[in-house]
């Protein structure tokens, strides 16, 4: 039976960089999740009788909202829901299912790399028929609906059994519970040379993959240990848990410390990798060598033709603005275009759909390609494995060889987390106001607030981060995170280009020291936020 429930708008249901993210207790308020889901449906047209994909990263409150979303999809007239078993789907796997089965779209429940548990974070986002995050026009329309909502529709009834693969009915709608891993594993087998990777493993190559207690555990175990034959135990923290086993599932040097300590030691395995809460981010390390996400994008692009799925070459590369320009140098050499977009995977969708770019990446540990419309953690790991299998060199040798050929973009991101929001907004406003006067000081050649004109649909996005551009390719970029749930997070991105190979082995923070000092001074970070040092340096 379909019920129409009267409701009132909640303040602040505005999607950020990637969907609506709030603390779990906020989502647990009566009607809160329902309002947002109904607003998604209200902002869409023409889905009657069509298929909706639903799944999430398994974090606390996932199961409850999957059940709600299924019953609301039925009440709103969808013909079918495809849901991952136990309500699980990694973000890239959901993108693949939407594309493969030509679904109308999908609802993905995730707060990505943010911590989970009863006091952690939760999130909801909508992905469109191309498998990618809703573009800005649609997220704006969803937000407008959240401000005007008066009721939502839901089918009353018992929970769907999500524990078994198979079909059932809810109201007039079919619910198909699917294996969350199978379609994704099949896609990976199409793109990569599994035999070459198996031969690498037989030669004694070792790796560790950290699932961080999150969604990629089952994917990593099935693909790395199951299909490729890495020994059992290669995947660590491989069981998805509602609180990620207390991990902060953000694959970086700080939060994947156990893995990093192991692989960065001289006796560690040849290769290490990790993925985040919902499986779209990746961390790549080799024995004694951390690979920055920006370098990883450039190296994957430069070596892509070694991999079957990309053997015919790339049409173009895209990177988010704060990502280092290492990929630009590869694009230049390959004589292909390199696009610079605002932060947020949603901005790559048009470029991929229009075949202007094949590979995309972001400094925030995201890399991916035209195989889906999300960044994809395990894809990046398999891409590296395939390249290592073909080149038979160490990760460190490949990275250093890349720097020799293209120069090195020293790069670091300094995050000031949970800063007072007013202070952070004031800092950005003051920087903006200063922009016209900065040129010509401290070696600054240009200073602007980044704006993007989408070459496919002509839309313009403004206010995407303040850039200070120095002679020789150095940069300082400031922006506020769009994914946090408490206060504001100020991100400062610092980059220096070094062509001279004899200066490629300086410790990163030392190589950037003068720019780091300048970044703090120009923005008056300590005076305005009270912080004398960043919370996280990656």
Residues that bind ligand G16 (CB under 6 A): 17-18, 112-113, 276, 280-281, 320, 343-345, 362, 364, 366, 481-483, 491
Q: Are 291 and 399 in contact (CB under 8 A)?
A: yes
Select from 488, 441, 430, 493 the least CA-distant residue to 467. Answer: 493
How far, in Å, CA of 330 to CA of 346, rounded?
Answer: 23
Q: Looking at beta carbons only, is 114 or 237 nearer to ligand G16? A: 114
Catalytic choice (39, 112, 275, 369):
112
Determine the distance from the C-alpha atom of residue 533 to the mean position of all C-alpha atoms in its chain, rounded to a whole number. 26
Closer Cβ to ligand G16, 17 or 461, answer by number? 17
Report the nearest approach of ligand G16 to the CB of residue 119 (Å).
Answer: 19
Distance, CA of 374 to CA of 280 (rounded, Å): 7
Pick between residue 272 and residue 366 the one whose CB is nearest to ligand G16. Answer: 366
Residue 449 CB, nearest approach to ligand G16 (Å): 16
Of the two residues 347 and 406, which places its CB atom closer to ligand G16 in the complex?
347
Give the number of other CB atoms < 10 A from CB of residue 152: 24
Cα dihedral 416, 426, 487, 32 sign: negative
Task: Tell me the closest approach of the beta carbon of residue 492 to ligand G16, in angstroms.
Answer: 11
Spatial contact of 416 and 489, defined as CB atoms under 8 Å apart: yes
Structure tokens at 224: 């790395």
Give the dihedral of Cα atoms 40, 43, 48, 54; nearest 10 deg.
-20
Rg (the chain; Cα; Å) = 23
Query: What single DSSP character describes residue 292?
Result: P
In the complex with ligand G16, the residue whose CB is nearer, 367 or 474, is 367
Nearer to ligand G16, 220 or 344 (CB): 344
The nearer residue to ligand G16, 251 or 269, going by C-beta atoms, is 251
Hey, what are 390's tokens? Answer: 């073909």
**CB under 8 Å to 348, separation ≥6 — which residues?**
132, 318, 341, 357, 360, 368, 373
Whether residue 112 lies in the annotated active site? yes
CA atoms within 13 A on the CB side of 323: 32
Q: Cβ closer to ligand G16: 281 or 520?
A: 281
Asked if residues 89 and 375 have their Cβ atoms less than 8 Å apart, the reply is no
* CB 135, min distance to ligand G16, A: 13
Secondary structure of residue 8 in the 3-state scheme: coil
Length of the chain as a residue count: 538
CB of 268 or CB of 342, closer to ligand G16 = 342
CB of 320 to ligand G16, least distance (A): 6
In sequence order, what DSSP letters do the residues of 362-405 get, joined into one string? ETTTEEEETTSSS--HHHHHHHHHHHHHHH---HHHHHHHHHHH
- Cβ contact 132:349 at 8 Å: yes
**Minimum CB distance to ligand G16 smaller for 44 or for 492:** 492
We find the least distance from the C-beta atom of residue 76 to ligand G16, in angstroms, to be 26
Q: How far is CA 502 from CA 403, 408, 499, 510, in A?
A: 11, 11, 9, 15
Minimum CB separation from ligand G16 for residue 337, in Å? 20
Instruction: Find all residues with CB under 8 Å of 14, minimum gap 6, and list them.
Output: 20, 143, 146
Residue with tokens 């907004």: 425
Min CB(255)–ligand G16 separation in Å:
13
**Residue carrying the six token digits 């190296």:** 299
Q: How many whole angstroms from its chain centre is CA 295?
A: 16
Separation of alpha carbons 192 and 515, rounded Å: 40
Instruction: Work out the angle between the directed axes of helices 377-391 and 194-202 (0-180°, nearest 10).
Output: 60
Closest approach of ligand G16 to the CB of residue 112, in Å: 3
Report residue 63 CA to chain centroid gap: 22
Give min distance, CB of 538 to ligand G16, in A: 12
Count other Cβ atoms within 10 Å, centred on residue 456.
12
Give the residue numbers marked as catalytic: 112
């Amino acid at each position: 039976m379909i019920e129409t429930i009267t409701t009132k708008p909640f303040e602040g249901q505005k999607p950020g960089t990637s969907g609506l993210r709030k603390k779990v207790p906020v989502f647990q308020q009566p009607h809160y999740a329902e309002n947002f889901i109904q607003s998604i449906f209200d902002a869409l047209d023409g889905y009657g009788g069509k298929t909706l994909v639903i799944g999430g990263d398994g974090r606390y409150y996932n199961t409850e909202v999957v059940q709600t979303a299924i019953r609301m999809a039925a009440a709103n007239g969808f013909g079918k829901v495809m849901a991952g078993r136990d309500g699980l789907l990694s973000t890239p796997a959901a993108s693949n299912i939407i594309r493969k089965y030509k679904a109308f779209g999908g609802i993905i429940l995730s707060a990505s790399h943010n911590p989970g548990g009863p006091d952690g974070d939760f999130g909801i986002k909508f992905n469109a028929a191309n498998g990618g995050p809703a573009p800005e026009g649609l997220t704006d329309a969803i937000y407008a609906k959240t401000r005007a909502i008066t009721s939502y529709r839901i089918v009353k009834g018992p929970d769907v059994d999500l524990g078994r693969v198979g079909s059932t009915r809810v109201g007039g709608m079919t619910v198909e519970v699917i294996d969350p891993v199978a379609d994704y594993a099949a896609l990976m087998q199409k793109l990569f040379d599994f035999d070459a990777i198996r031969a690498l493993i037989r030669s004694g190559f070792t790796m560790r993959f950290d699932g961080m207690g999150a969604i990629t555990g089952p994917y990593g175990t099935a693909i790395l240990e199951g299909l490729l034959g890495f020994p059992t135990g290669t995947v660590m923290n491989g069981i998805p848990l509602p609180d990620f086993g207390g991990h902060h599932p953000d694959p970086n040097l700080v939060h994947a410390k156990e893995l990093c300590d192991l692989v960065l030691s001289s006796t560690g395995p040849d290769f290490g990798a990790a993925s985040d809460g919902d499986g779209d981010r990746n961390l790549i390390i080799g024995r004694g060598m951390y690979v920055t996400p920006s370098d990883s994008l450039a190296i994957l692009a430069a070596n892509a033709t070694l991999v079957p799925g990309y053997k015919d070459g790339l049409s173009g590369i895209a990177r988010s603005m704060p990502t280092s320009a290492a990929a630009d140098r590869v694009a230049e050499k390959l004589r292909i275009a390199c696009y610079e977009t605002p932060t947020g995977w949603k901005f790559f969708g048009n470029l991929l759909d229009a075949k202007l770019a094949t590979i995309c990446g972001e400094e925030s540990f995201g890399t991916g390609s035209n195989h889906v419309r999300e960044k994809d953690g395990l894809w990046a790991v398999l891409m590296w494995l395939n390249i290592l299998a073909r080149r038979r060199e160490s990760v460190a040798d490949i990275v250093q060889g890349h720097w020799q050929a293209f120069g090195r973009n020293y790069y670091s991101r300094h995050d000031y987390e949970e800063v007072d929001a007013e202070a952070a907004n004031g800092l950005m406003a003051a920087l903006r106001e200063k922009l016209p006067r900065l040129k010509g000081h401290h070696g600054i050649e240009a200073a602007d607030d980044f704006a993007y004109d989408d070459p496919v649909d002509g839309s313009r996005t403004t206010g995407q981060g303040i850039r200070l551009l120095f002679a020789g390719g150095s940069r300082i970029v400031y922006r506020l995170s769009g994914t946090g749930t408490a206060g504001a997070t100020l991100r400062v991105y610092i980059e220096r280009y070094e062509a001279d190979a004899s200066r490629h082995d300086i410790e990163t923070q030392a190589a950037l020291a003068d720019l780091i000092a300048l970044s703090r001074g120009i923005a008056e970070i300590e005076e305005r936020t009270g912080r004398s040092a960043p919370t996280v340096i990656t």
